[in-house]
Amino acid sequence: MSAIEQTEAARPRGTRLPRRARRNQLLGAAQEVFVAQGYHSAAMDDIAERAGVSKPVLYQHFPGKLELYLALLDQHCEALLLSVRTALASTTDNKLRVAATMDAYFAYVEDEGGAFRLVFESDLTNEPAVRERVDRVSLQCAEAISEVIAEDTGLSQDESMLLAVGLGGVSQVVARYWLSSESPVARDKAVALLTSLAWRGIAGFPLHGADGQLSAEGH
């Protein structure tokens, strides 16, 4: 169950919930408000009202708006990193790996809760704690991708990291454009097009310990 769904399920005012369930409910309400209004325009009053709780209850869990925002940001940064790692581990076929990783970014931005806006389009990037988290998750995703590239190609860690940053950056930028432009191209077709573009580049690097180039089948 997503944070938004947890909010809907637990919204009636006055309902007593276990602490973890209440925290998840508040995070779901905060996500709705922050995505709709942005950090600066959102108020704790709005979040408490959306959650169906009193403001003192909200402050029992989060001492301030920034702490609430950072908790939500941590949650969704972790979700993105898990999606990328899961995609990379889903197959040993490198072309399918590229496709799965691209699709992980598309699925992330397409999620109806709009959480990607907190990570990639935050209006609070001048806040060091926010900037650090956004930079960290981008770096962690690139590191996960670079490990596969280095293992398969024998390129140095620095070289693999450059390629990984490029693949991750292209994936999230194109996925966000695809969503914001309301492109008529279906998601699976968009992923296939982007995979074809990326694969034509990455497949040109020799497979480590083997003759020829990276194979799309079984490597």
pLDDT for res 52: 93
pLDDT for res 152: 85
pLDDT for res 11: 46
pLDDT for res 205: 76
Give pLDDT tens digits for 138-195.
Answer: 999 999 999 999 988 888 999 999 999 999 999 999 999 999 999 999 999 999 999 9
Place 4 in a pLDDT band, splitting at 50, 70 and 90.
Answer: very low
pLDDT for res 16: 73
3-state secondary structure the chain: CCHHHHHHHHCCCCCCCCHHHHHHHHHHHHHHHHHHHCCCCCCHHHHHHHHCCCHHHHHHHCCCHHHHHHHHHHHHHHHHHHHHHHHHHCCCCHHHHHHHHHHHHHHHHHCCCCCHHHHHCCCCCCCHHHHHHHHHHHHHHHHHHHHHHHHHHCCCHHHHHHHHHHHHHHHHHHHHHHHHCCCCCCHHHHHHHHHHHHHHHHCCCECCCCCCECCCCCC
Place 206 in a pLDDT band, splitting at 50, 70 and 90.
Answer: low
Give pLDDT tens digits for 34-82.
Answer: 999 999 999 999 999 999 999 999 999 999 999 999 999 999 999 999 9
